[in-house]
Chain A
């Protein structure tokens, strides 16, 4: 009993070490406010800990973790019941208010990374999930396993999601 618990604790520590940053980015895509995001991140980690004894290797460890993380993120969105935040709201949540910028000028000045991050946060949930999994380097088959859709469907949806992301980033095509 104790041995099993210790083995689980070691596995959990390794998972947090290996996937902690990815989970943190995923939490970032679901929550713009720092304090709440920290809370969400901890909840995802707890959910992984609670589900770990039931992991029988039916899918890869990465798929298992992303499933839990996205499902917890969805629960967070579903319970918050706030209207979809706009890109402007998200910028206000993390950045001090700058009286100068006009939207285009501001987007042009802000660096690429912030634009990408804010654009991902502003996406509708279905597109957000696609994009986050793609950015984390999951294959189409893995994305399909996480979301519960076919590989062909993943390809079609990814194309649409990328288009929406570009629009949100203000990239002309």
Chain B
């Protein structure tokens, strides 16, 4: 049986699933229920200085829904904890004492001055919690006051605050990054330079969920006006995976522990984050959509996956896919794939044909001998994977790899053996001899 225990920057937890700093970890009651359900840890909802902030009393959340109202994406405008600091710290202390095997990490957000950070760190450390996470990510509300993503968007501030924190606490320091930035490597590098023990990402993405076309107001709105929120849920997973992968493979940050966050809803999502370099994962939206019980399905699925693949521990596949993430210019341009339609599985919907015809390479025939029949035209197929992506039937369209020496019907030439990328390609004016 797979061992799911993890030690992330020295913080131990029975499984790699922590609840992210968010409404589900707002108070003792919630975290208690989460731990009873089996969550490995919780990053307590961000605390700040007193007096506590206030939240709006209208809609704080909104969802992007599928036709049958499954949540695809989720948006919130809730600020950090609106309860007094002492209440939060007392509860944190109690929960940690009651659940010594679970990870409790305090998420912090105070103004950008050393004395403020120093003051709160001392109070937090006293609770017996396992670490701190610096909230440099929230894109809404707090950023207007110079906190959250307003800090996370300036690498120099990240480095500075991380350094203060490392100086003023013995606890591991995790820096939570905002994705609302052009190059995620810059803040990650800054965190590392400042001495942070780890980064966690992604925080939410600035978002407006929609427009109420009857009232002509943005949605969600508070008394007729809205403010952008932070977007999360399964829709953001690809964005998060890319950012995790970029940090994992960056020369300057390679080896920096990463807590992966962003749209993790299933064991499979978690395994993907771990394979791309995350040491553990944090979850919020899935819990807010289904409740805490879903942790059981995540751990069960992950353990079965690991057993099936022969991974004894999380470390056995941690970062295993990172070497496969490359720059485009490193891709092998000699490699050729062609789409293949399995006629036994084809249900004749014809979508592959029309999308290829309308929007791609006119490489799928719609008829054969005058009858409805969908077949790839190898002479036009560039292997783009559009048909495979939109086919409603699993495994009906697959990609076939042409062997070196095999004639590519599109070019009329044999597929070259060996590796050849853009840097050496004759069409590249900057090409260097191989």
Do chains A and B interact in one complex?
no
Residues of A within 8 A of B (CB): none
